[in-house]
Amino acid sequence: MKNATRRKKTAFPENLRAINQITRTDASFVLIVCALVAFMLMGSMEFTGSCTVFTASVGDTVLFGNNEDVGDRNATVWFVPATETTYGWVYFGFRDYPVQIGKFPMGGMNDQGLFFDITSVPATIRPLPETIEEALQFIEQNNNLPSLTMFNAGIFGGRILENCATVEEAIQVIKQYDLLFYGEYQFLFADRTGDSMILCPSPDGEMKVVRKEGVYQVVTNFNVLNPGLGQYPCGRYDNAVWMLKEIESDDDLTVEYFTSILKKTHSGGTTYSTIYDPVNGEVYLYNHHNFGWVVVFDLEDELEKGSHSYDVLPLLRERGESAPKQLEKSEEPLALSFDLFYAIFTIVLILVTITVLWKRMEKGGS
């Protein structure tokens, strides 16, 4: 009896150590899994800066579309009338974002039907001038560009709208400047003729033009000339391309169909969405991915009122109207978005973790 008691006392610490070891192993495993899940979820969040911009043209029909994704903010729309030397234009942005001093036009269209919008992309760092001669050459090349514009890509886009009527004219102006500071921006310019181009950083840091070939052109948040920098592949881009490929005639290219593309490519952080019709001079505005309620602007009428602005939330309450039903040409499934992919991945990972822990507990108890 004494020996049996002694054996039990000896065995008890060993069992305790074994249980403790299992617990530590399982805890480490759980922590690793949780860290992986958190990392994947952070990577899947498409809030700030997850914008989608696209254009398409068939015959005389041309449309531009944009989802602006900067989270829960109140956007503002500004109307700037023409002067003796500049075109009138409309643009969207925020009174205090992303710069506190001076506005940052996120995108807009002028009275000639030239449009632009910007997306953020992983930064392409280009070396600053290394010698006095290089610095003087840079200053001389850009001496007629306003100083704020040197750093504010939105104001640069606005300067293009004020002074250019077509994409071709915009390209000629862009060629005059060394856009050294725009390595984290990507522009889409398009005009009422259907011409469009992407302006983005090349791998060597120079801003390059990519002309449209075919019916449509799209940008999201990966650099089209250097997708390896990040944000690629992109579910929003794939969905937009898939739907734009379905456009075969001008009967397919409608505001309703463009609205369905915006609806398919929006994220939880979409602040506002716009569609521009440059041929008819109309702008359609949706707020916080509510595509059932729209404000329609007649650009000519608004510019005749002089310089003015509207905050979007009160504007929708005053002038909002029920939007037409969005049309989709096919019910075929679209590309799986990354938000959905990561949600499925997370659920599967959690289930696998629970299963492994359960089996270890059963093994430890046997």
List the beta bridge partners of residue 308.
79
Mean pLDDT of the region 5-9? 46
Identify the pLDDT of residue 8: 45
- Between 116 and 342, name the one with better pLDDT: 116
Nearest C-alpha neighbor of 51 from the set 116, 118, 123: 118
233 cis-preceded (ω within 30 degrees of 0): yes
Taking the CA atoms of 229, 235, 238 and 244 in sequence, report the sign of the dihedral they define: negative
Q: Which helix (H) or strand (E) is 37 found in, with range? A: helix 2-44
Taking the CA atoms of 182, 167, 160 and 283 in sequence, report the sign of the dihedral they define: negative
Read off the pTM. 0.74
Nearest C-alpha neighbor of 114 from the set 198, 186, 189: 189
Interatomic CA distance for residues 264 and 285, integer angstroms: 16
DSSP secondary structure letters along 331-342: -S--PPPHHHHH
**Which tens digits make up the pLDDT trace of 205-233?**
888 999 999 999 999 999 999 888 888 89
CA atoms within 13 A on the CB side of 109: 30
DSSP secondary structure letters along 144-168: TS-TGGGT-HHHHHHHHHHH-SSHH
Q: What is the mean pLDDT of the chain?
A: 80
Nearest C-alpha neighbor of 29 from the set 349, 366, 302: 349
What is the C-alpha radius of gyration for the chain, rounded to an integer number of angstroms? 27
- pLDDT tier at 146 (50, 70, 90 boundaries)? very low
For residue 38, pLDDT over 90 is answered with no
- pLDDT tier at 325 (50, 70, 90 boundaries)? low
Identify the pLDDT of residue 205: 80
For residue 47, pLDDT over 60 is answered with no
33 alpha-carbon distance from chain centroid = 30
Q: Which residue has the tokens 């109140």?
A: 74
Mean pLDDT of the region 351-357? 70
For residue 247, pLDDT over 90 is answered with yes
For residue 112, pLDDT over 80 is answered with yes
For residue 34, pLDDT over 60 is answered with no
- Most confident of the ranges 9-13, 102-106, 245-249: 245-249
Taking the CA atoms of 52, 205, 91 and 77 in sequence, report the sign of the dihedral they define: positive
- pLDDT tier at 26 (50, 70, 90 boundaries)? low
Number of neighbours of residue 303 by Cβ within 10 angstroms: 22
- Between 213 and 6, name the one with better pLDDT: 213
- Most confident of the ranges 20-29, 115-124, 173-182: 115-124
Mean pLDDT of the region 111-131? 84
Mean pLDDT of the region 37-46? 40
% pLDDT > 90, the chain: 49
Degrees, nearest 5: CA angle 41-43-344: 45
- pLDDT tier at 114 (50, 70, 90 boundaries)? very high
> What is 44-337's CATH number?
3.60.60.10
Identify the pLDDT of residue 360: 66
% pLDDT > 70, the chain: 69
**Which tens digits make up the pLDDT trace of 52-67?**
999 999 999 999 999 9
Identify the pLDDT of residue 365: 60
Identify the pLDDT of residue 203: 87
Nearest C-alpha neighbor of 53 from the set 191, 194, 190, 167: 190
Mean pLDDT of the region 288-300? 94
333 cis-preceded (ω within 30 degrees of 0): no
Q: Which residues contact 107 (CB under 8 A, 6 or more apart)?
A: 53, 66, 68, 91, 92, 115, 116, 117, 118, 157, 274
